[in-house]
């Protein structure tokens, strides 16, 4: 087992945290190509089948909501291992579900465990590294996280030859391996854990994170809400990817996997751009311009769909720009948000992740319900989400007293 000091120079530690954080994306992306099969199996519409994605995101949000503050009380490792156990058992239970309602319930439970496990990742990074190192370390973690979804649909397509239920057997095996590695190799990183558990203290920490003030204003909360609405653009695509590619454009499962992988590559491209820029450019600047590019791209897609029936290549090109923006914004936004805290870090991490997945679940679900066989409502929801994010960001920058011109790290 690594010592606390060894973790700072351990690539294995960051790769493990990335694998743990990838549990959520893996739980979504591996079975996206089989959503039509699930819909047929239970005789439900694609809109209903898409709700299993939104339900999963809501479960992640709930797990992260509770997991963060509990990890400040009980330690990161206890919460992480508990989450992995819940995820594994729920994955197995989905396999024996008899109807869509049971799948929805156990998907919620599965994601709850995934939220428990993944929320501690940002907190453990902040436990080990200094505040100025967090953004770049988190960018490296996000890069590894994105590698998994790039191949997940292809893996899901391969496993689906044995039926969509086989995918959940594989997810149970994956989480079991992570639990074994966590138990044997990764130490507890929380140094100032309380001697006894106090539910009041756990959620007092949450309240402290929510009410954290900078210059007398709720700057951190504004950034958390910004992350939620900005990230919802990504979740709109993820929730509706099967509809866009398989149902609307009538692509095969193999083609879906290729196109989905291309969009993940766009996320990685944005991530790497941010990781490079953070060496010389302050995180708020990256967030500012990344969000503006996202807003303009969403507006362009709305106009395209409003005045034409765009072909597949135009839609995927537009989505790739939106995904690049999302990949660029995410590590900078998360890094800047968590750098505002020196204590209650688990609760702060939980707040940020909870809002991200809660908003993503709701916004993605709204886009799915409004789509009605059309692309325009999906991109219109993305545009609205980007506009709200823009207003929140400008408000946060003003209260934080950041200039609108670019700041360097030295400045």
3-state SS string for 82-124: HHHHHHHHHHHHHHCCCCHHHHHHHHHHHHHHHHHHHHHHHHH
Question: Is residue 67 one of the residues assigned to a domain?
Answer: yes
Can you tell me the mean pLDDT for 247-260?
89
Closest of 371, 375, 248, 246 to residue 308, by C-alpha: 375
Question: Percentage of the chain surpassing pLDDT 70?
Answer: 92
CB environment 153-172: b (16+ within 10 A), e (fewer): bbbbbbbbeeebbbbbbbbb
Are 113 and 179 within 8 A, CB to CB? no
Give the model's pLDDT for residue 408. 45
Q: What angle do CA 203, 400, 210 make, to 5 degrees?
A: 10
**Angle between helical axes of 219-242 and 46-74 (0-180°, round to 10):** 140
* 127-136, 183-192, 309-318, 367-376: which is most confident: 309-318
Write phi, then psi, for 408 (nearest 5 degrees): -90, 170
Give the model's pLDDT for residue 160. 87
Tens digits of residue pLDDT in 281-336: 888 899 999 999 999 999 999 999 999 999 999 999 999 999 999 999 988 998 88
Name the band, by pLDDT with cuts 50, 70 and 90, for residue 5. low
Question: In the predicted model, what is the mean pLDDT of the chain?
Answer: 86
Does the pLDDT value for residue 89 go beyond 80? yes
Write phi, then psi, for 217 (nearest 5 degrees): -125, 160
pLDDT higher at 287 or 11: 287
Can you tell me the mean pLDDT for 254-260?
89
Question: Is residue 407 one of the residues assigned to a domain?
Answer: no
Which two tokens mark 387?
A: 């506009």
Question: Is residue 155 one of the residues assigned to a domain?
Answer: yes
Are 397 and 267 within 8 A, CB to CB? no
The CATH number assigned to the domain holding 27 equals 1.20.1250.20
Are 331 and 274 within 8 A, CB to CB? yes
Tens digits of residue pLDDT in 206-217: 788 888 888 888
Question: Is residue 99 one of the residues assigned to a domain?
Answer: yes
Give the model's pLDDT for residue 409. 44
Give the model's pLDDT for residue 187. 87
Can you tell me the mean pLDDT for 162-183?
94
pTM: 0.76
Give the model's pLDDT for residue 338. 80
d(CA 397, CA 222): 9
Q: SS3 sequence, the chain?
A: CCCCCHHHHCHHHHHHHHHHHCHHHHHHHCCHHHHHHHHHHCCCCHHHHHHHHHHHHHHHHHHHHHHHHHHHHHCHHHHHHHHHHHHHHHHHHHHCCCCHHHHHHHHHHHHHHHHHHHHHHHHHHHHHCCHHHHHHHHHHHHHHHHHHHHHHHHHHHHHHHHCCHHHHHHHHHHHHHHHHHHHHHCCCCCCCCCCCCCHHHHHHHHHHHHCCCECCECHHHHHHHHHHHHHHHHHHHHHHHHHHHHHHCCCCHHHHHHHHHHHHHHHHHHHHHHHHHCCCECHHHHHHHHHHHHHHHHHHHHHHHHHCCCCHHHHHHHHHHHHHHHHHHHHHHHHHHHHCCCCCHHHHHHHHHHHHHHHHHHHHHHHHHHHCCCCHHHHHHHHHHHHHHHHHHHHHHHHHCCCCCCCECCC
Give the model's pLDDT for residue 90. 96
Q: What angle do CA 224, 228, 233 make, to 5 degrees?
A: 150
Residue 405, classified by CB atoms within 10 Å of its CB into exposed (0-12), middle (13-18) or buried (19+), is: exposed
Tens digits of residue pLDDT in 348-361: 877 887 888 889 88
Range of the domain at 370: 6-185+203-400
Are 355 and 41 within 8 A, CB to CB? no
Give the model's pLDDT for residue 378. 95
Give the model's pLDDT for residue 358. 83
Question: Is residue 409 one of the residues assigned to a domain?
Answer: no
d(CA 382, CA 396): 21
Question: Is residue 118 one of the residues assigned to a domain?
Answer: yes
Chain Cα centroid distance, residue 323:
13
Give the model's pLDDT for residue 172. 95
pLDDT higher at 10 or 254: 254
pLDDT higher at 411 or 59: 59
Does the pLDDT value for residue 381 go beyond 90? yes
Does the pLDDT value for residue 411 go beyond 60? no
As for how many domains the chain has, the answer is 1
Tell me how long the chain is: 411
Question: Percentage of the chain surpassing pLDDT 90?
Answer: 39
Chain Cα centroid distance, residue 380:
21
Give the model's pLDDT for residue 404. 53
Question: Is residue 60 one of the residues assigned to a domain?
Answer: yes
Give the model's pLDDT for residue 405. 54
pLDDT higher at 405 or 317: 317
Question: Is residue 364 one of the residues assigned to a domain?
Answer: yes
d(CA 266, CA 199): 42
Can you tell me the mean pLDDT for 257-276?
88
d(CA 64, CA 315): 33
Can you tell me the mean pLDDT for 369-388?
93
Can you tell me the mean pLDDT for 367-396?
93
Give the model's pLDDT for residue 135. 66
Can you tell me the mean pLDDT for 235-263?
89
């Amino acid at each position: 087992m690594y010592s606390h000091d060894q973790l700072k120079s351990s690539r294995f530690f960051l790769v493990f945290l990335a694998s743990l954080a990838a549990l959520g994306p893996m739980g979504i992306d591996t079975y996206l190509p089989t959503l039509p099969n699930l819909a047929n199996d239970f005789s439900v519409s694609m809109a209903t089948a898409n709700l299993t994605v939104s339900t999963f995101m809501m479960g992640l949000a709930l797990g992260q909501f509770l997991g963060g503050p509990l990890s400040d009380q009980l330690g990161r490792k206890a919460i992480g291992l508990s989450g992995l156990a819940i995820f594994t058992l729920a994955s197995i239970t989905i396999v024996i579900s008899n109807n869509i309602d049971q799948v929805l319930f156990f998907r919620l439970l599965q994601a709850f465990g995934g939220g428990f496990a993944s929320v501690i990742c940002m907190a453990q990074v902040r436990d080990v590294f200094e505040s100025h190192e967090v953004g770049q370390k988190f960018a490296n973690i996000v890069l590894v996280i994105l590698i998994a979804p790039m191949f997940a649909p292809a893996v899901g397509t391969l496993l689906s030859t044995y039926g969509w239920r086989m995918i959940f057997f594989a997810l149970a095996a994956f989480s079991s391996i992570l639990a074994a590695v966590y138990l044997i190799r990764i130490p507890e990183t929380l140094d100032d854990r309380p001697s006894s558990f106090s539910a009041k203290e756990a959620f007092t920490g949450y309240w402290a994170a929510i009410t954290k003030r900078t210059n007398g204003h709720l700057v951190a909360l504004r950034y958390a809400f910004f992350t939620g609405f900005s990230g919802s653009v990504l979740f709109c695509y993820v929730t509706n990817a099967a509809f866009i590619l398989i149902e609307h454009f009538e692509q095969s499962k193999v083609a879906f996997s290729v196109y989905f992988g291309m969009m993940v590559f766009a996320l990685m491209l944005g991530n790497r751009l941010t990781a490079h820029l953070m060496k010389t450019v302050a995180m708020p600047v990256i967030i500012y311009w990344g969000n503006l590019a996202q807003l303009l791209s969403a507006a362009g897609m709305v106009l395209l769909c409003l005045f034409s029936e765009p072909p597949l290549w135009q839609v995927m090109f537009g989505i790739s720009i939106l995904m690049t923006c999302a990949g660029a914004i995410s590590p900078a936004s998360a890094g800047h948000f968590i750098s505002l805290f020196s204590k209650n870090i688990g609760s702060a991490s939980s707040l940020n992740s909870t809002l991200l997945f809660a908003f993503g679940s709701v916004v993605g679900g709204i886009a799915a319900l409004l789509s009605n066989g059309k692309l325009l409502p999906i991109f219109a929801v993305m545009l609205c989400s980007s506009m709200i994010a823009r207003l929140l960001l400008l408000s946060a920058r003003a209260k934080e007293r950041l200039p609108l011109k670019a700041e360097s790290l030295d400045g």
